[in-house]
Amino acid sequence: MALSKAEWKRREEEEDAELYLFPWLTWGEFRRWPLRRQQELRQKFTQQGATVVGFWKDCALGKCRRAKRCVGFLSEAQYKAGFNPAFPPCARGEEPRRAKIMDEGIEKLYPSKPGPKYAGRASDGGEAY
C-alpha cells in the first residue's frame, strides 16, 4: 500500500524530531549540517571509544599521545585515500581496529545490554525464580 503525501511528511517530521547521538541534537538538525561537519561529529563520538581502547598510545599524531586520549581528525589526504569518515586517524583504515573501537570502546562507555538480573538470595539454598 502506497503512503499518502501527508503520511509520508508526518513520518519524515517524526523521524527528524528524534534525538541523534547527543540530547541537544535531532536527526533533522544533523542532516542539515554540511557533510564535513557531520563527519567530524561522528569522529568525536568514536574518539571516545578509541580513547577507552587505548589507541592514543600508538597514534601517529603527537597531540593524541601528549593528551593521552584520542583528539585527532582525518586529514584531507586521509579522506581522499578512502579512510572511513566516521573514525579518527588512529583507526588507520583497518577494519579490526574500527571493530575494536565499536565493540570494546563504545560498548564500555554506552552499554546496550542490561545488567545482570536478580537471581534470588545466595543464602537461600533453593533455586532462584
Q: How far is CA 59 from CA 64, 68, 74, 77, 127, in A?
A: 7, 10, 12, 17, 51
3-state secondary structure 60-118: CCHHHHHHCCCCCCCCHHHHHCCCCCCCCHHHCCCHHHHHHHHHHHHHHHCCCCCCCCC
How does pLDDT run across 37-87, given as a tens digit for each residue? 999 999 999 999 999 999 999 998 999 999 999 999 999 999 999 899 999
Distance between CA 64 and CA 85 in Å, rounded?
A: 18
Helix, strand or coil, per DSSP, at residue 51: helix
Cell numbers linked to 8: 509520508
Is it the case that residue 121 has pLDDT exceeding 80? no
Q: What is the pLDDT of residue 72?
A: 93
